[in-house]
Amino acid sequence: MTRVKRGYVARNRRKKILKITKGFRSSVLFRPSNQRAMKALKYSYRDRRQKKREVRALWISRINNTTRNYKLNYNQFIHKLKKLNISINRKWLSQLALQDPHVFYQLINY
């Protein structure tokens, strides 16, 4: 049976991990770099989902802040929109509240 040299397979795998951890503190040795890379990838997976929650919470707080200026709270405002079959998502509502308060005021008094 012929001899199989598999040096480049392992080297390429290690180089890939070291490339991921290039700017990290422990980025020279493979083992700590591999642990750091696994943890970083796990955090990035978690935080991609968490970012969506945080942005939605920001939109809601912007809408709530603006509606309170007109003696209404967020819950009442959303209920009113649903009752009138006005379907505008929270991102658009927060943009209206920030950039065009006149249109937002018309929505409240609709």
Give me the pLDDT at residue 65, please. Answer: 95
What is the C-alpha radius of gyration for the chain, rounded to an integer number of angstroms?
A: 26
Please, what is the average pLDDT of the chain? Answer: 92
Q: In terms of Cα–Cα distance, which of 4, 6, 29 is closest to 18? A: 29
Does residue 73 form part of some domain? yes
Full residue range of the structural domain in which residue 39 is found: 7-108
**Which CATH number fits the domain that encloses residue 69?**
1.10.1900.20
d(CA 107, CA 86): 9
pLDDT band at residue 7 under the 50/70/90 scheme: confident
What's 22's DSSP letter?
T
Does residue 1 form part of some domain? no
Does residue 2 form part of some domain? no
Give me the pLDDT at residue 1, please. Answer: 81
B/e letters for 34-47, b = 16+ CB within 10 Å, e = fewer, are bebbeeeeeeeeee
Q: How many domains would you assign to the chain? A: 1
Does residue 38 form part of some domain? yes
Residues 43-87 have pLDDT tens digits of 999 999 999 999 999 999 999 999 999 999 999 999 999 999 999
pTM (2 decimals)? 0.75
